[in-house]
Amino acid sequence: MEGNILNKPAITMKSATPILRIFDEEKAKEFYLNFLEFKLDWEHRFEDDMPLYVQISNGGCIIHLSEHHGDCSPGACIRIEVDNIEVFHANLLSKKYKYSRPGIEITPWSTKEVCVLDPFGNRIVFFESI
């Protein structure tokens, strides 16, 4: 629909960008950049001793990570759709990351899923529809 009854332009929503809480820059980079193979797009601090805020991405998936206490609560869960989840899963296991050796699950709702917990209690579910 190009407009509505008041002849206003249509509104188009785009992908959400989740913000996940982190507490340790080194652990966050080890997990997200090395283990999950996201790339660091940019990082920001208001001053050298202030909390870190970063954007990471992998393909079309964008995530923000924040040390700022007011941005979000630890323990969030996000779902990320991926292609070739079995290859993704095998790649994760091949790294022998000592803090995570996720399994792969076939769900009753017709997905294959790999669930990982980051070092800060956030859950990331990678899934592929079957």
Q: What angle do CA 73, 120, 74 make, to 5 degrees?
A: 10
The 10s digit of each residue's pLDDT in 19-78 is 999 999 999 999 999 999 999 999 999 998 899 999 999 999 999 999 998 888 889 999
Q: Is residue 65 one of the residues assigned to a domain?
A: yes
Element (H, E) at 87: helix 85-94
Of the listed ranges 31-35, 70-74, 86-90, 93-97, the least confidently predicted one is 70-74
**What would the DSSP string read from start to end of 18-54?**
-EEE-S-HHHHHIIIIIIS--EEEEEE-SSTTSPPEE
* pTM of the predicted protein model: 0.88
Average per-residue pLDDT for the chain = 93
Q: Is residue 1 one of the residues assigned to a domain?
A: no
> What's the domain count of the chain?
1
Q: Is residue 3 one of the residues assigned to a domain?
A: no
User: For 72-100, what is the mean pLDDT?
Assistant: 94
Q: Is residue 43 one of the residues assigned to a domain?
A: yes
**Domain harbouring 120, CATH code:** 3.10.180.10
Q: Is residue 8 one of the residues assigned to a domain?
A: no
Percent of the chain scoring above 90 in pLDDT: 81
**Residue span of the structural domain in which 117 resides:** 19-129
Query: What is the C-alpha R_g of the chain?
Result: 17
